Amino acid sequence: MKQNKNSNMKFIVVLTLAVVLILAAVAVLSNKQESLPTDIKQIDVTGQPSLGEKDAPVTVVEFGDFKCPSCKTWGEIIYPKLVNDYIDTGKVNFSFVNVLFHGKESTLGSIAAESVYERNPDAYWTFHQALFDAQPVENHDGLWITPEKILEIASAYPEIDQTLLKEDMEKEATMESVKIDEALVREAGISMTPSIVINGRMMEDPFDYEAIKSAIEQEMMVCQH
């Protein structure tokens, strides 16, 4: 009887250890899956501001907000590497989609940027960068995207017609383009900024450049076959 009890106890211990090991293995596999890009859908970037070769094998889309400090940081740390390694080399076409998570200021910044893009596409990316650069280091949640500030930023670029930009902001002339972006944000299920989508695959960590490179290289290999 005692031997049977010992055998039963050993069996229970072994079974418990097996269950623990299985659960641990599942947890590790789950974490590995979470670190990979999540498939969503190919983003329709028709009419969006873009950089790089139109026929590039890989499309990278940034969903960003001019009020978002993380977007500004991404633009300072990750974006230059992306430009150097993939956009300037013709491997990636990069597009930006406006996100309005910060309300009226996000909307105003987007309307102004779309105005510059529609009236003078060559000035768009310069203005885009300047608007992010103007974001305050401290108290970025405070009111800073105003018509006056936008016109002040635009005044540094003679190619931008300030009178037309002022009118476009007052009349919300480019709101239709902004609403297209809002629809893209909903369709892609964007919940944070910046969000980076590579050929329809959402990156879990937009600041993990090695993962971004890996995803781009994988997509390039797929396109070559």
Number of structural domains, the chain? 2
End-to-end CA distance of the chain: 67
CATH at residue 177: 3.40.30.10
Half-sphere exposure of 136 (CA within 13 A, CB side): 9
- The one-digit pLDDT tens for each residue of the chain (225 residues) are 544 545 555 555 445 554 444 444 433 333 434 446 888 788 999 999 999 999 999 999 999 999 999 999 999 999 999 999 999 999 999 999 999 999 999 999 999 999 999 999 999 999 999 999 999 988 878 999 999 999 999 999 999 999 999 999 999 999 999 999 999 999 999 999 999 999 999 999 999 999 999 999 999 988 776
104/211 same-domain check = yes
73/124 same-domain check = yes
6/92 same-domain check = no
Enter the pTM of the model.
0.82
178/72 same-domain check = yes
CA separation for the pair 44, 160 (Å, rounded)? 27
